[in-house]
Amino acid sequence: MATVKIFLGIVCFALFSGYSLPGRNSINLTPSSELADRENLLCIAKNEVGVRELSGHNDGPRVAAYLYYVDVEEGSAWCAAFVSWVFSQAGYAAPRSPWSPALFPFDKRTEQIRPAVVFGIYFSNLKRIAHCGLVERQEGDWLITIEGNTNMEGSREGDGVYRKRRSVKAIKYFADWINKKGADDEN
C-alpha cells in the first residue's frame, strides 16, 4: 500500500510540476509564455470591439490610428491595419501591412486553428485574400473572430470592429505570427 501511495505521489508531482521534469520540452505542448502572448493579443483586440468609423468612410480617430501604424491615409481599407496594430500593441514588429494578402506568407501559414491566429477570406471576384481578422476561439465548425472594417453582416467594407461568428469553411488561410517579440521572421 505504501508503494502505491509513493507511486501516486510521483504521478501527481509529474502532472502538476511537469515543466521542471527532464525531457518535458520534447513533448509538443504550448509554452505558457506563448499562451500568455495569445491571451494578451486577444485582450487588446477585445478592447477594440465597438470601435466605429466616424462617417462610414474608413475614418475616425481609432481607425486613423490603425491606418497610421501601417503608413496609409485615412479612408483606406483597414482590416489588415487593425490586425497589424493589435500585434504592435502587444510588442510585435510584425505583421505590419495594410494589405491583407501580405499577412499570409508561406512561412507563417498554419492549419492549426488557435487563439490569436490570423484568418484570411478569399474573394473570387478579386482573386485574392481580401479580408482578415483574428481568431478568438473555435466552436466546432465555427470560429469566433475579432475583426476590423466589417459590420453585422460580415462585409469586408464595414464600419467598425466586431466580434463575428464565421464558418471554418469560409476561411482560405490561417497564419500564426506568434514568435519572439520584435522578430520579423523568427519562429
Of residues 48 and 22, more confidence is placed in: 48
pLDDT in tens, 102-159: 999 999 999 999 999 999 999 999 999 999 999 999 999 999 999 999 998 878 889 9
Q: With a cut of 90, say whether residue 52 has pLDDT above it.
A: yes
Residue range 31-175 forms a domain whose CATH class is alpha beta
What does the pLDDT look like over 159-179, one tens digit per residue?
999 999 999 999 999 999 997
Which amino acid type is present at position 94? A
Percent pLDDT > 90 in the chain is: 73
- 3-state DSSP call for residue 80? helix
pLDDT at 186: 43
Sequence-separated (6 or more) residues with CB below 8 Å from residue 97:
70, 80, 84, 103
Are 175 and 108 spatial neighbours (Cβ–Cβ below 8 Å)?
Answer: yes
Closest CA to 108 of 173, 41, 62: 173
pLDDT score recorded for residue 83? 98
76 pLDDT above the threshold of 50: yes
The grid coordinates of residue 126 equal: 478579386
Mean predicted lDDT score pLDDT of the chain = 84
Cα of 8 vs its chain's centroid, Å? 40
pLDDT of residue 5: 40
Q: Per-domain residue ranges for the chain?
A: 31-175
Using a pLDDT cut of 70, give the percent of the chain over it.
79
Pairing state between β 118-123 and 142-150: unpaired
Confidence of residue 1 (pLDDT cuts 50, 70, 90): low
Question: Is pLDDT of 47 > 80?
Answer: yes
* Angle value at C-alpha 30, between 27 and 35, nearest 5 degrees: 165
Mean pLDDT is lowest, of 63-77, 79-93, 129-143, 151-165, for: 151-165
Q: Is the pLDDT of residue 187 over 80?
A: no
pLDDT at 23: 36
